[in-house]
Structure 1
Amino acid sequence: MNLILGTVQFGLDYGITNESGKVSTIEAQHILQVASHAGIHLLDTAAAYGDSETVLGKLCHKRNEFNLISKIPSSKTHALDIRKSVDESLSRLQTSKLHAILFHDQQDVLSKESKQSFEILSELKSEQKIAHIGASFYSPDALESALAMHDLDIIQIPANCLDQRFQQSGLLDEAKRQGVEIHVRSLFLQGLLLSENNQLPTYLQQFKPELTRYFDLAKTLSLTPLQLALLYLSNNECMDYGVVGCLNRQQLIEITDASNYVQELLSEPQFKNKLDLSCLASSSEQLINPSLWK
């Protein structure tokens, strides 16, 4: 599994465990240097991520080692104008072409207007303003409908040791049969899976047993929580890329080191053959869907 640098923290104060706020422009520059050195060449952003696109435009417009993925804002918050949205993202990012543009809202892929939207995106593809078309999904049901309706180059889904819905649905196998590239976000569940000492908000206290089971398995496998989080993705052959965010360069170094370590572990048949993470899967949507946290 390869890594994509997620840049929501470049534009917003994001994450349940984030105590330092939005990443400064200087630190963002350092993070990009680490990413380049680690061989990460895809950056994930969105018009909805505050001024993330603008920050990336300033930092990346003279660098050619990064390819950019952005997202079309939801029609719930903006009038859906595909061409205008893409052109504005290109302008903020100071680039002439995006590696991919994704629909940020799965409902915009399923609406009756979606056929026209995909036709416009196909035109932008032929104009070489975008290379790939895709969408971000939140539920397996929405993905199933979208795969039947449209030709998608890329899908982005949430998945982690606790959230195994998409893997268990069998839809990732179907997506691969259709030639779709699969990007996975929410690997760390907004940082909840990275530290056993996180202070859980009141509304998540009821899920402490499920989180404890996760941290206990990390200890049993002699892994850090970060390594276990990345192990789930590296062990799934359907998943092509993992989107990882960070607040500083040291965090990204730790993530890339952990990713390399677990990939080495998985090259050992004795370890891989006895690995079973299905016991960590949670059916509690209130835990695995951060949009429901309140």
Structure 2
Amino acid sequence: MKSGFSSSPADRLALAVVTEPERAVPAPAGAREEAMRALLQTGADAGVTRIATRPNGDGERLLGQAWPFPSPFSVSVRTLSLADGLDRVEARARRSLERLGLPRGDVLLASCASDLAGAEGRALWDRMRALKDRGLYRRIGFVSTLEDGPVALARRFQPDVVQMPCNLLDQRPASGGVLDELAGLGVEVQVSSVFARGLLFTNRENLPPHLAGHGVALSRTRRLLAEARIDPMQAALAYCLGLPSVTAVVASLASAAELRAVLAAAHAPRPDLDWDALALREPAALTADPRVLVSTAA
């Protein structure tokens, strides 16, 4: 099994920089670019080496205009949905590198594991593998949920990387052994949604409708952390960084200030907590509507 531990928590963080209006502070174009430069320089100075991107909005373009020089970052790119067609998926994967101003990327991830499970899944994977063979991406993999059956897909496609949600509230990928199985197959395991799409930071009255019935359980988790005098962000990062099969922890953030908070929490001493007691008893509810983003951390 691969061990995800390294000498520094910052080295295991992957930054997913958010530029959507609901997260980022509205600002003129020049100010947005300067804010991106400040964020990236803060990460570089702290020893962060990974950036995770999506092919939506203008995030790739902003990143491409703001890299520090020399850039220490390796970059992962997600594909478009297969519903857009194979040709467009491939073209956009190439275009992502152009927008990022990079000759090559580190990882190309199929954005939806269900695309690989479908009729054109093998054709999609062959397109991605061809981009790897041409040297445009160093590694390929896919984004999965627990429900997608990532271990079976990994056995079928032999990816270099699998990224999937896992967090303090939904520990099923870890407790069920899925992360260990993936690592045992030689796959680099990355976890996302480490802050449970903001649920760790929201009050019961602000919960989306489909999670309203879980308000008591969420309040209980927050109370246990408060009694232990542990900040929710610190607990969330400590849990994910403590998973031995995990190589990278993807943290979503929108500013240098958020990054500084994440770095401080990641470097805090690991708390002695009953991790199992902090999980929701019905964690599948967290993935009932993935479009819901409650707060500023995803």
Q: TM-score range by the shorter chain?
A: 0.7 to 0.9
Number of the residue aligned with 1:285: 284
The separation in 2 between residues aligned to 1:124 and 1:279, in whole angstroms, is 44
Residues 204/197 of structure 1: CA separation in 2 closer, same or farther (3 Å cut): closer
- What TM-score do the two structures reach when normalised by structure 1? 0.86
The separation in 2 between residues aligned to 1:99 and 1:43, in whole angstroms, is 10
Number of the residue aligned with 2:145: 138
- 1:247 Cα deviation (Å)? 2.4
- 1:39 Cα deviation (Å)? 0.8
**SS state at 2:141 partner:** strand
Residues 215/288 of structure 1: CA separation in 2 closer, same or farther (3 Å cut): farther
Matches within 5 A, 1:1-294: 2-7=12-17, 9-10=18-19, 12-13=20-21, 18=23, 20=25, 24-47=32-55, 49-60=56-67, 63-76=70-83, 78-81=84-87, 82-196=89-203, 199-261=206-268, 264-265=269-270, 271=272, 275-282=273-280, 283-291=282-290, 293=292
2:221–2:279 contact (8 Å) kept in structure 1: no
Identity %: 24
- 1:285 Cα deviation (Å)? 2.6
**SS state at 2:238 partner:** helix
**Which segments of structure 1 move beyond 6 Å, counting only runs of 4 or more?**
none
**SS state at 1:233 partner:** helix
1:189–1:290 contact (8 Å) kept in structure 2: no
RMSD between aligned alpha carbons? 2.4
AA partner of residue 286 (structure 1): A
The separation in 2 between residues aligned to 1:21 and 1:170, in whole angstroms, is 42
Question: 1 or 2 for the larger relative contact order (CA 8 Å, sep ≥6)?
Answer: 2
Count of residue pairs brought into register by the alignment: 278
Residues 88/3 of structure 1: CA separation in 2 closer, same or farther (3 Å cut): same
Q: What are the ranges of 5 or more consecutive residues in structure 2 without an aligned counterpart?
A: 1-8, 294-298
Single out whichever of 62-71 and 127-136 deviates more from structure 2: 62-71
**SS state at 1:245 partner:** strand
